[in-house]
């Protein structure tokens, strides 16, 4: 008689390898790694059904440190490889790990297509606004005026806003987290995993060597309450140390505004309630930037749609249901011709 038993309850250690973690001391990647390893057992996933795919860069070391299947691929092509993995075995739980340079520069085209196709995977973008592995050149997300070895007089490029780009590419799930905010980041990862389709998560990550303290203007504890708004579906967009500030949608100008409750006629009724299914508001929230606005954290947009590999699988199943075909007849059908 076969007795079915529950699988062992896994912990973070079950998702950690014996490999030495080789990032610079103090790198934000350590915190992200710990958050992912802690979150996976809480999701109830199994290592043998999980795959991490990465490109090139500091973030791309990630698969070595996960006791799952993994692919360390080539620069910018992680989404393409992940697409192949998911199509070959749709039951696998696929995570893509990429940096802002890897994903938004040479890999921008591949990121665009994996999001618009809505492949059922989680895409984690580690954004430190610099190329770390190749020694500090400016990246697509580097800020105007940033001095690097490749922009000694300061960058003149208009930076890419990762979440705005993801929304523009047709992503059905877009969220943002911070490396050192373990609990909120874990909640974002869980939401991304629950979503059926392509989940895009921008993770603000500190590079201690080439871009130290780039995000302290909104990540430091002393200022975080006034410079971050944590968006939750169905809840008003309130922030500030005194919880007296809020985001308001002005119907006359069709723009977002910041107001203080009790001042200039601004009341709690004026505060915008977050609707994560509204793509227009999502674009506005994703584009908010200091010092005019706080940075939006959490699930900015979520609106499920059928996944790419699910639809492809349905097509194949429908064809198989018709029974065996005639390959010779297929090759001789349609637009054929005879050469004399």
Please name each of the domains of the chain with its CATH number: 12-214+306-312 (3.40.50.970)
- Listed residue (5, 167, 134) closest to 57, CA to CA: 134
- Give the bridge partners for 51, in sequence order: 69, 94
**CA quadruple 129, 134, 140, 146: dihedral positive or negative?**
positive
Work out the percent of the chain whose per-residue pLDDT is above 90. 89
Q: CA angle at residue 278 from 43 to 114, to 5 degrees?
A: 55
Positions in the chain short of pLDDT 50: 5
The per-residue pLDDT for 339 is 87
- Smallest Cα–Cα separation from 174: which of 195, 149, 143? 195
pLDDT of residue 338: 82
Query: C-alpha distances in angstroms, 295 versus 67, 287, 303, 337?
Result: 34, 9, 21, 62
Model pTM score: 0.94
**Do residues 275 and 235 lie in contact, with contact meaning Cβ atoms separated by under 8 Å?**
no
Q: Are 34 and 77 in contact (CB under 8 A)?
A: no
CA–CA gap between residue 270 and residue 273 (Å, rounded): 9
User: What pLDDT, on a 0 to 100 scale, did the predictor assign at position 5?
Assistant: 47
Assess contact for 244 and 258: CB atoms under 8 A: no
pLDDT of 4: 52
At residue 7, the pLDDT reads 61
Of 109, 15, 22, the closest CA to residue 59 belongs to 22
DSSP 8-state class, residue 212:
T
Please report where in the chains the tokens 């004026």 appear, as a residue: 270
Beta strands, E only, 55-91: 69-72
Segment holding 234, helix H or strand E: none
Task: Copy the structure tokens of residue 300.
Answer: 């900015």
**Cα gap 254→290, rounded to integer Å:** 19
């Amino acid at each position: 008689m076969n007795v079915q038993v529950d699988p062992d309850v896994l912990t973070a250690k079950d998702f950690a390898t014996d490999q030495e973690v080789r990032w610079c001391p103090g790198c934000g990647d350590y915190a992200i790694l710990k958050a992912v390893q802690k979150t996976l057992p809480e999701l109830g996933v199994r290592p043998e059904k999980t795959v991490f795919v990465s490109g090139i860069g500091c973030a791309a070391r990630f698969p070595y440190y996960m006791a799952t299947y993994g692919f360390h691929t080539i620069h910018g092509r992680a989404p393409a490889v992940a697409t192949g993995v998911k199509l070959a075995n749709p039951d696998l739980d696929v995570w893509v790990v990429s940096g802002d340079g890897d994903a938004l520069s040479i890999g921008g085209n591949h990121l665009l297509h994996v999001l618009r196709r809505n492949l059922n995977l989680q895409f984690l973008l580690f954004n430190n606004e610099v190329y770390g592995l190749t020694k500090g050149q400016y990246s697509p997300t580097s800020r105007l005026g940033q001095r690097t070895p490749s922009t000694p007089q300061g960058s003149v490029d208009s930076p890419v806003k990762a979440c705005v780009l993801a929304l523009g590419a047709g992503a059905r799930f877009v969220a943002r987290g911070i490396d050192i905010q373990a609990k909120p980041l874990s909640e974002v990862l869980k939401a991304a995993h629950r979503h059926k389709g392509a989940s895009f998560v921008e993770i603000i990550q500190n590079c201690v060597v080439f871009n130290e303290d780039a995000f302290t203007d909104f990540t430091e504890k002393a200022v975080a309450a006034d410079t971050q708004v944590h968006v939750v579906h169905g809840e008003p967009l309130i922030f500030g140390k005194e919880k007296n500030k809020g985001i308001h949608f002005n119907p006359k100008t069709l723009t977002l505004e910041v107001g203080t409750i009790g001042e200039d006629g601004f009341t709690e009724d004026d505060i915008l309630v977050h609707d994560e299914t509204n793509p227009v508001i999502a674009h506005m929230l994703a584009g908010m930037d200091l010092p005019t606005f706080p940075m939006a954290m959490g699930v900015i947009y979520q609106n499920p749609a059928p996944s790419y590999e699910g639809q492809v699988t349905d097509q194949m199943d429908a064809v198989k249901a018709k029974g065996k075909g005639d390959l010779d007849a297929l090759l001789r059908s349609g637009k054929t011709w005879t050469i004399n």
